[in-house]
Structure 1
């Protein structure tokens, strides 16, 4: 999980919106360092997705158990999003970002060097701290580095890092893993993380906090009935997405019988389709968030759910994976816009809660999908994911009776 609601909330809470001047170079270089940090985090969080078969084979675990490499950081990130938001208090946000990026470096080093699966999971737990903490406070900081007029553009730059990580990170990791081994992929991610950390230490200025968040403020989002409905929809669709997506590589290998290079290329196409989905989702939420959620659920449900039936055919599997990518691109902007349209007054505290919910759903999806893979096979995980996504569409179609225009304009999170 990546979150522009946090950017908006801190921007809104700033009394002066005066940009903080970086010590070296242009403010946009500092923004870029945050964007590259987002890229590194997204890439590392989902890196196991393209490497599961190789990891499972070397460590002597099932692919379902290997999927814990996605589950563990998601669960830890859910806690970190809240604990970091509250716990950092009045600490200079520059130091917080440095510390969170450092967990990325340590995580990749531990995973790359460990031959024990429990130690690897500890390394992935470290990553969860970085992921949760970064999405709770990181994107918001980019708006403080530039003038108020350029704040939206700065946030867009950060989320471009997310998009690049989604499109290129996982297939690049799978490609490196195929050529040099899966450990090399994590080593490369660690090197990128170290370079990002050094860049941030050089470019980021002092970033004193503007307002501290307390635990008492966190439940505010949950008191709004429309927001609660959106949270349930979020849980269903993220469960469906990651119960299936975590095991897309084993499915394409075992059922579609594609080679590693072809799978990497198809994952790249999946990510590129996500760009298109993001544009479609942005257009739909401007008209009707309810419609956007329903279309997202149906797109994901049909594409994922049809894979067990048609996925043995390479051309059919390719088409379904691309459509799946479009649905994935629509998903975050749709659920996020619904929730913060429902409770714009709760944006101050709601960002950390939303990040936690997304990460719990993501981790739980990977866990349930892994259990399904181990008991029924990879096709079972696809069927489960499709059913959960369709359930979200039904939930919104039946229970979401009202739908106004979005009160804030948000961009995709991952």
Structure 2
């Protein structure tokens, strides 16, 4: 690899990280705008939270079938199609005159999302400089983390100043810029090791992979049972101001960057320890979020720990999916993306039910119960079938 091609490879990885930022920002921006959207349509916050549930479940239902339908399409061309759909969905969201049309726009965006995350982890490792695959995956995660560090607080600020529609409009403009950037930077990327419908029975016979999927859906459900309603929780339970709530979102996102840095430094040395430490931090955070809610200092420390645990666990999970299924990466990651979003949607729905029936105080405790079940399943299967190193 020449110096020029290596430099170009770094820019290609950076473009994918930027794409992760844009896609994650739009998926989670409702978390920062729930109250504003609710006021706009005269709806309670719990009902507006349906946006996240529907979005996540569309992704979960479409990830695998859409990936199979697009398995043979050259990947750069496919990315351009996905960005076009993504931008159109945001235009619909901007002009939506009732909640139903806003939901329709979000469903269109979710369609693009379902394929994007099914192919991106494998693609970013393909374009990475030689010997830098783990770094490329960490950069992709950093892009995702920046969505909560910058995307959510800035989106919330724009929404409060200019209206939530403007936030969606800005996201569509960023996507257009990124689409042009990737069109210029990326080479042709033929589909490789995508897998097919015939890969499903083969993957189902891999117990560690199946257990990993179980840990994924249950831990993500656990996380989003509480995180989906972090904005009303901070305002109603912790009694924080709007500006402090925005800062909380910023701290949560910053913790994801810290987790990505730790992952790049430590994961290769002790992958199993890194995974279990991250999972236990997530569990402890869910159990403690209500307990520390009356102390701002303790709450900021808790939020940073929570974000570090969740981001670290996410990186471990996707790395292991790629390691457990190198012969069918796109199918395996499509399943992973699908069940991840089942967890997001299930968590958002469950959190809404808990909030309405029992109160916001209990969202962390209910989430923790799901995390415990997921950890028990994975621990049992891992002990029975042995530890598989996750480093690539």
TM norm. shorter chain > 0.5: yes
- 2:39 alignment partner in structure 1: 57
TM-score w.r.t. length of structure 1: 0.83
Q: 1:176 aligns with which of 134, 158, 166?
A: 158
Matched, 1:335 2:327: no
Q: 2:237 aligns with which of 255, 260, 271?
A: 255
- Displacement of 1:341: 5.3
Distance 1:243 1:285 in 2: 31
More deviation, 250-259/212-221: 212-221
- 2:105 alignment partner in structure 1: 123
Unaligned regions of 5+ residues in structure 1, if any? Answer: 1-17
Distance 2:96 2:43 in 1: 15
- 1:76 alignment partner in structure 2: 58
SS of the residue corresponding to residue 97 of structure 2 reads coil
Q: 1:350 aligns with which of 320, 332, 339?
A: 332
- 1:287 alignment partner in structure 2: 270
Distance 2:299 2:326 in 1: 40
Distance 1:209 1:402 in 2: 35
Matched, 1:40 2:12: no
SS of the residue corresponding to residue 261 of structure 1 reads helix
Count of matched residue positions in the alignment of Structure 1 and Structure 2: 389
SS of the residue corresponding to residue 308 of structure 1 reads coil
Deviations 1:330-361 (A, max 9, x none): 22123334555556555463222222111211
- Tell me, yes or no, if the aligned pair for 2:285 and 2:303 is still in contact at 8 Å: yes
- Displacement of 1:269: 0.9
RMSD value, Cα: 2.9
- Displacement of 1:195: 1.4
Matched, 1:380 2:362: yes
Q: 2:351 aligns with which of 369, 389, 398?
A: 369
Distance 1:208 1:347 in 2: 14
Distance 2:356 2:344 in 1: 19
Q: 1:245 aligns with which of 227, 231, 241?
A: 227
- Tell me, yes or no, if the aligned pair for 1:244 and 1:385 is still in contact at 8 Å: yes
More deviation, 401-410/345-354: 401-410
- Displacement of 1:28: 4.3
The verdict on how the C-alpha distance between 1:401 and 1:264 changes in structure 2, with shifts beyond 3 A counting, is: same
Q: How does 1:87-102 map to 2 (within 5 A)?
A: 87-102=69-84
Unaligned regions of 5+ residues in structure 2, if any? Answer: none
More deviation, 360-369/327-336: 327-336
TM-score w.r.t. length of structure 2: 0.88
SS of the residue corresponding to residue 352 of structure 1 reads helix
Distance 1:182 1:170 in 2: 12
